[in-house]
C-alpha cells in the first residue's frame, strides 16, 4: 500500500453499500482499510463476492474484526487514518424486534468503540450510517432533519438515534467531526438478499408467491446505491461544521404495489401475491426532504426507481 495515500477505515465494507463505497474510494486514489466481521445475518459467501473486485487491490487492507471488541480494534488497526466511514451495523427493522439486545450491543456499543478509537487515534472525521427509520411514525412528511420529533417504533431505529446522539457528544467533547447520514431504503446491485426488491425479484423469476404485508399502500423513498455512495463521499469531504445530520433519499415515494408492478415490468414476469396483515415495526411512509444535503453536500440523486431496478435486474441475472 502506498504510504502517500490517505487511508480511510470503512466498517461494513463487505456489505451492500460498503462494497460500492470502497470501490468509489479506490477510484479516487484512496487507500482503504475494510473492517467486517461477516455477521451471520446473511451468507459470508455473498459478502466475499461483494468484495471480489477489490480484495486483491494493492491499496486495500481487509481485516475480519468485530467492532464490539475494542481491544481487537486497537491491536489490529495500527495505521494512520484520515477518517472512519462507519457503515457496519446489525441491520433490519423486524429482526431487531426479535433480538433487541444484540442490536443494542452492535449498533450502540460498537459505534461507541469506534468513536473511542477515533478519539485515541486523533481521527477527526467520522461519517455514520444512520437510517430514515429514526423518524418512525412522524406524520410531518417529507421528513426534515430540523424536525426534532422522532418517533421510532423499532429497536433498530432507536439504536440509530443513539448513534447520532453519541456522535454529538464526541464532536462536542473531542472535536471529532461527526456526520450522520439518514439513508432512505437503498437498493441496487448487491442489495441484501433479505430486502424486498431482491427478495421479490427472485420469487418472480422462480414463479414463487411473494408475501405482501398490508394493502400495498405503504410507501418508501427508494434511493439508488450509486446516489447514496456519492452522498457518503461528499460527506467524507465536508468540513464546514463539527456535527450535522443529513437525509440521503430520492425525494420520491413509491408504494409497495407500484414497486411490485415495476419488478413485473422490468423482469417481464407476473408476480403471484399472497396477502398478510401489516407487521409490527413497519411505518406507513418514508419520504426525505433533501434540501439540506443538496445545499451542504452538493447531493443530487440521479437514478429514478425504474432505471435502478433495471440495473439491479442486470446484476441479479449475472449473479444468480
Tens digit of each residue's pLDDT, the chain (320 residues): 555 899 999 999 999 999 999 999 999 999 999 999 998 888 899 999 999 999 999 999 999 999 999 999 999 999 999 999 999 999 988 899 999 999 999 999 999 999 999 999 999 999 999 999 999 999 999 999 999 889 999 999 999 999 999 999 999 999 999 999 999 999 999 999 989 999 999 999 999 999 999 899 999 999 999 999 999 999 999 999 999 999 999 999 999 999 999 999 999 999 999 999 887 777 889 999 999 999 999 999 999 999 999 999 999 999 87
All structural domains of the chain, each given as residue ranges with its CATH number in brackets, are 7-187+223-251+287-301 (3.40.50.720)
DSSP state of 215: S
Q: What is the three-class DSSP state of 197?
A: helix
Query: Count of alpha carbons within 13 Å of 297, Cβ hemisphere only?
Result: 28
3-state secondary structure of 262: helix
List, in sequence order, the alpha helices (H) in the chain: 16-27, 44-50, 70-76, 93-98, 100-104, 110-121, 155-174, 196-205, 225-236, 256-267, 291-297, 305-318
pLDDT in tens, 140-172: 999 999 998 899 999 999 999 999 999 999 999
| pLDDT in the model for residue 201 | 97
Q: What backbone torsions phi and psi does residue 295 show, to the nearest 5 degrees?
A: -75, -45
Global pTM? 0.96
Residue 3: predicted pLDDT: 58
Q: Which residues are catalytic?
A: 156
| Residue 217 · residue 256 · CB < 8 Å | yes
Contact 271, 203 (CB under 8 A): yes
Phi, psi of 219 (to 5 degrees): -125, 145
The SS3 of residue 264 is helix
Give the model's pLDDT for residue 219.
95
Residue 97: φ, ψ to 5°: -70, -35
Among 89, 16, 12, which Cα is nearest to 316's?
16
Cα separation values, 2 from 13, 31, 32, 61, 249, Å: 20, 8, 11, 12, 35
Residue 36's pLDDT is what?
Answer: 97
Q: Which residue in 170, 196, 29, 146 sits closest to 86, CA to CA?
A: 170
One-letter-per-residue 3-state SS of 229-257: HHHHHHHHCCCCCCEEEEEECCCCCEEHH
Amino acid at each position: 500500500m502506498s504510504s502517500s495515500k490517505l487511508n480511510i477505515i470503512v466498517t461494513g465494507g463487505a456489505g451492500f453499500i460498503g462494497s460500492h463505497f470502497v470501490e468509489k474510494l479506490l477510484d479516487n486514489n484512496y487507500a482503504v482499510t475494510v473492517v467486517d466481521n461477516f455477521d451471520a445475518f446473511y451468507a459470508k459467501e455473498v459478502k466475499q463476492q461483494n468484495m471480489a473486485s477489490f480484495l486483491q487491490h494493492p491499496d486495500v487492507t481487509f481485516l475480519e474484526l468485530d467492532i464490539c471488541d475494542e481491544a481487537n480494534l486497537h491491536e489490529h488497526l495500527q495505521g494512520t487514518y484520515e477518517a472512519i466511514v462507519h457503515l457496519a451495523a446489525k441491520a433490519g427493522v423486524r429482526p431487531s424486534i426479535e433480538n433487541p439486545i444484540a442490536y443494542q450491543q452492535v449498533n450502540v456499543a460498537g459505534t461507541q468503540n469506534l468513536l473511542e478509537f477515533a478519539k485515541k487515534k486523533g481521527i477527526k472525521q467520522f461519517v455514520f450510517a444512520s437510517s430514515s427509520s429514526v423518524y418512525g411514525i412522524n406524520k410531518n412528511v417529507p421528513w426534515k432533519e430540523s424536525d426534532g420529533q422522532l418517533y421510532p417504533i423499532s429497536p433498530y431505529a432507536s439504536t440509530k438515534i443513539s448513534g447520532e446522539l453519541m456522535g454529538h457528544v464526541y464532536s462536542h467533547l473531542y472535536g471529532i467531526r461527526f456526520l450522520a447520514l439518514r439513508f432512505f431504503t437503498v437498493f441496487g446491485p448487491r442489495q441484501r438478499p433479505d430486502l424486498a426488491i431482491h427478495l421479490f425479484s427472485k420469487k418472480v423469476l422462480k414463479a414463487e408467491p411473494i408475501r405482501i404485508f398490508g394493502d400495498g399502500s405503504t410507501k418508501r423513498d427508494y434511493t439508488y446505491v450509486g446516489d447514496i455512495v456519492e452522498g457518503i463521499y461528499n460527506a467524507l469531504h465536508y468540513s464546514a461544521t463539527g456535527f450535522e445530520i443529513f437525509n440521503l433519499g430520492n425525494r420520491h415515494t413509491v408504494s409497495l404495489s407500484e414497486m411490485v408492478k415495476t419488478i413485473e415490468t422490468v423482469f417481464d414476469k407476473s408476480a403471484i401475491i399472497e396477502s398478510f396483515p401489516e407487521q409490527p415495526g413497519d411505518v406507513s411512509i418514508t419520504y426525505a426532504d433533501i434540501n439540506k444535503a443538496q445545499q451542504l453536500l452538493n447531493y443530487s440523486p440521479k437514478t429514478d426507481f425504474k432505471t435502478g431496478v433495471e440495473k439491479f435486474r442486470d446484476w441479479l441475472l449475472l449473479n444468480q
